[in-house]
Every structure is written in structure tokens, then in C-alpha cells.
Structure 1
Amino acid sequence: MKEKITLDKVMSSAPDLILYAAPVLIALALLEFYFSWKQKKELYEKKDFFASLSIGLVSVIQNLFIKTLLFGSVIWVYNIVPWSIPVNWATSILCFIVLDFFRYWAHRFGHETSIFWATHVTHHNSEKYNLSTSFRLSWTQQIKVVFFLPISFLGFHPVIFFICHQIAVLYQFWIHTEYIRTLPKWISYIFVTPSHHRVHHGKNEHYLDKNYGSTFIFWDRIFGTFQPEDEQAVYGILEQPKHYNPVKLVFHVWVDIFKNMKRAGSIKKATLILFQSPSSLKKYE
């Protein structure tokens, strides 16, 4: 019979890699900011940079307070199933691959349904593409934990899951840059690269809703969402905000959703709005 995992044990065993890495990531973004300014590349806009930094810092602080809830839900699922997967290097790598599969689908639903687009749009509503863009993580993205509970159901240990999850999040940082243009083909065939992710952030017509991969790009090749970079991406979203207010950048799609739900006329129609395509949302200024 497997040992029951407690919240205290997981929190004491799973290092907060993102918190430790935050100062280094901010320093690297500032360095890129400096080189962009020095070389007159215009990859940064001052107000946009501080909006991204503000959103990111609030997200880090927020996670310190709510990670107990997130840890708790994952641990609860792990404890109720009677099986578990042994912890070793091979199963840890397998956990990372399985996690990346679910991250692909969480990301894809984040573009294809209104409720999850509202938790993700903040990451896309900048017209600049640089390392600081990786800081733009919505303060409501935690509801996407529902996509990751199956990993605990499969029997992967919660500590391994959280370490893999944090590594996957940190991987996202370096791919948000214009400075790295191309990489060897074998890398680009397996892993998500800056080139792949620039496509994902582009609002060029044939770039929309492409390259959802988190760490591995082969999911996009398998599920038909892969698009190579064949022209310079135009960044931002189709309904581009005309301000740099961090709060509005986080919640503007939620506002649209609730206004649409209020006018729906019935609970059924209001509920369906949450799961319709974001393109079906009527925008309210």
C-alpha cells in the first residue's frame, strides 16, 4: 500500500525554482533591454516593459499565497488512487514528457475557449516580443490546474510533478527573444525554439493558433498545429488594447465574458459563452 503524501511534506521537498530564478530572469531581461536600446532595435517599449514586469511580479507574489491550494488539489488526487509510479530518473523524464503533453492541450484550450483565453490573453497582448514577455502571466491562470490533475491520477509523485512543472515554466523564458534566430535542425525538430514561439505570438493570418508546444514541438507536428517561421511576426492580439494598465491587461477578456453572460438571457446560454471560441465574444469598450 502506497504512502499517503501530506501537503507539508511536498512543500518542504519541492524547491521553489521560479522564486529563486526570478532575480536572474529579471536581470537578463534588463540586459536585453539595454542591448536593444544600444543597438536601436526597438524590441522594447518602456511602458510595455514595466507593464510586463508588474504583471510578472504580482504573479510571483500571488503564487506564494495560493500554491497551498494548487499543491493540495494535486496531492488529493494522488492520494485517492491506489497506484503510484516509482520515483527514479526514467520515470521523472517520463513525467516531464507526459506533463508537456497536457501543457500542449492546456495551451491549445487557452486559445480555443473563452474561459481559458481569459486566463491566457495577458501573455499575448503585447505588441513587443522580448524576454520580459515571458513575465506576462495572468493572475487567473491557476484554474488551468484542471488540465494537470490527470498526471497525479496516473500516479506520478507530486514532488516530481511540481519540479517538472517549474522546469517547464522556466524553459519558456529563453524562447521569448528576437536575438536567437535559428538553431540546428535536430533541435528545432524536437524542442520549441524562439523561432517556433515567435510564430505562436504572431497575429499574421497563417500564424494564428499555431505552435502550442511548451517544451516539445513534436506535439504540434502530431496534432496538425505546426507552422514554421516564414515571415516576420506581427505581435499582439486582434483586439489589441491601447493602454499599458496591468490590471486591464489581465482582466479585459474577463470583462467581455461577464458582459456577454449578463446579456445572454438564460443560465444555459451564459454558461455556453464560457466554452465558445473567443472570436464569438462581443467586445465592450
Structure 2
Amino acid sequence: MIPAVVYAIPFFVLLVLVEALSYRFLPDDEERGYELRDTATSLSMGAGSQVIGLPWKLFAVVAYAAAFTVAPWHLSAASPWTWVLLFFADDLAYYAFHRAHHRVRVLWAGHVVHHSSIRFNLSTALRQSWTPMTTLPFWLPLALLGIPPWMILLQQSVSLVYQFFLHTERVDKLWRPVEWFFNTPSHHRVHHGSNNVYLDRNYGGILIVWDRLCGTFEAEGERVVYGLTKNIDTYNPVRVAFHEYAAAWRDVRGARRWREKAGHLFGPPGWQPKAEV
């Protein structure tokens, strides 16, 4: 089964080119827009994620199908209420997935790829993880609710396509009701910021209401500084993909106690054991 988002890839690349040309003819300052090596890395990461993700998606389909089989009821795709339930359930699953991948280091090690660029443009949306295996637990409950697996996969693709358009500085804040309910480029710029006030904020996929309800929302205010709190300074796709796994492994090997080893894996990024008195 080919994910629906794959069919959108040619349009993604075309829009990246259009946005890059817009900076050529309507330039911003040098810190904004596109840089050739950075864009090449993002495109490489995106291509690699698709190559790795396709066989994994086949495994996910089998897992969703197995969960759907044992679900106590099966919801009909012919009912509009099933689609309404799917929309909100998928978006809530994405919020939980996204928040966990920022707060648990072993999960962050895969997701950090997406935040590793110091630039923010449509190509950044394609800078994706090469370790998609951690997604399954967050969407499996949807199949257990009786939602057909093909619907889950379709809605995942719809969400990813929507989120592609969030990665731009060419769109300012939108109409206030839109900004209140939906994730927008302004909200997502905050999410990619390394400013202290912006860290671990705005995890939403299509909707921003989960952030507002759970206390993780932050409006865009001060100028966003993109990238990591400690940037990796490399354009090598392999290093971008696995640098945090390597760093976590070094910390685990250097830890003296099992509690410290667990903290380096399951604590938040940057976790360190308390100094002994």
C-alpha cells in the first residue's frame, strides 16, 4: 500500500522551488529563506524517510488490521460521524505523539531531525525522521475504536499534507478565529523556535485547541530563532538522522547507575542526574 502523501511529493517539490524563487526576487535578510546545502539535506532526509517508511507502513497496516479485527465494534466509513470521530481522534493522537517525542529523549532522538535546520521554509517540512517505528502505539487505539485501517492511513496523510504548508515565513498571522482553532504558520514557527519562551510549545497537527487545553500553547511574539538549543553544524544526512541516538548511547555508557541510564533514555532531552551533595 502506497501512502497517499507520496502522491503529493511532486507538488511539495514544486512549491519548494516556487518559495525559493520568491526569496530570490523578494529577498528577506540573509538568515531567512533558503541555503543550498541546508535544502539539499532536507530533501535527502525526506527521500530517505520515504524509502524507509514504505516497508514500515506495510507492517503498520498489518498491526492496524489486527487491532481492528479484535475491536468490539466496527464503524462504517459510510457514516459521516465516523469521519468526524477520525478527524479529532487522529489529531489528538498526533498531539500525544508529538508531545511525547519532545519530552522523552529516546523518542526525541528520532524527531530531532525535523528541528535540526536553522532555517524555516517549505523544505524544512520534508526533513523527516528515518526511524518511524515509534508512531504505531499512538494510532493503534484508533483501530481498536473500530475505525477501518485504510481510513486511519488516509487521515494521517491528510494531516501531513496540511502540516507541509505550516513551514513557511511567507505567511503572516491569519484571521483571528483561524488562529484560535487551527495550527497555522505563525503557531508552527513558534514550535520550531529555540528561544526559551518557545521551547516545547505548539505540538498540534491540524488543530491548535489541544495545546490551548493542555497548557502548551504560545503565541508568536519575539523573533523566532530556529534550530536546536545546541546546533549540530552538519549537512551530512546520516549524521543528522542518528546524531542524537549516538549522543544518548554515549550518555548511557557513561552513566554509573541504572537509574541514570534510564534517565538518559526516558527523561526529557538535556536530562542530567542530580549532583551528589
Q: TM-score with structure 2 length normalisation? A: 0.93
Task: Please identify, of 78-87 and 187-196, the stretch whose mean Cα deviation from structure 2 is larger.
Answer: 78-87
| Cα distance change, pair 207–91 in 1 and its aligned pair in 2 (3 A) | same
Whether contact under 8 Å (2:3, 2:153) holds in the other structure is: no
What are the superposed Cα offsets for residues 126-153 of structure 1, whole Å, 9 maximum, x if unpaired? Answer: 0000000000111013322111111111
Whether contact under 8 Å (1:200, 1:208) holds in the other structure is: yes
CA RMSD of aligned residues (A): 1.6
State the 4+ residue runs in structure 1 displaced beyond 6 angstroms: none
1:23 Cα offset (Å): 0.6
What SS class does the counterpart of residue 218 from structure 2 fall into?
Answer: coil
- 2:154 matches 1:201: no
**In structure 1, distance between residues paired with 2:24 and 2:39:** 13
Corresponding residue of 1:44: 34
Corresponding residue of 2:137: 146
Identity %: 35
Whether contact under 8 Å (1:256, 1:281) holds in the other structure is: no
Give unpaired runs (5+ residues) of structure 2: none
**In structure 1, distance between residues paired with 2:18 and 2:240:** 25
What SS class does the counterpart of residue 83 from structure 1 fall into?
Answer: coil
Q: TM-score with structure 1 length normalisation? A: 0.90
What are the superposed Cα offsets for residues 247-281 of structure 1, whole Å, 9 maximum, x if unpaired? Answer: 11111110011112222345554344321111116
Corresponding residue of 1:185: 176
1:206-245 superposed matches below 5 A? 206-245=197-236
Corresponding residue of 2:72: 82
1:81 Cα offset (Å): 2.4
Corresponding residue of 1:26: 13
What SS class does the counterpart of residue 44 from structure 2 fall into?
Answer: helix
**In structure 2, distance between residues paired with 1:34 and 1:204:** 28
1:86 Cα offset (Å): 2.3
Corresponding residue of 1:95: 86
Matched letter for residue 33 of structure 1:
A
1:116-131 superposed matches below 5 A? 116-131=107-122
Matched letter for residue 60 of structure 1:
Q
Aligned residues: 269
Give unpaired runs (5+ residues) of structure 1: 1-10
Matched letter for residue 47 of structure 2:
L
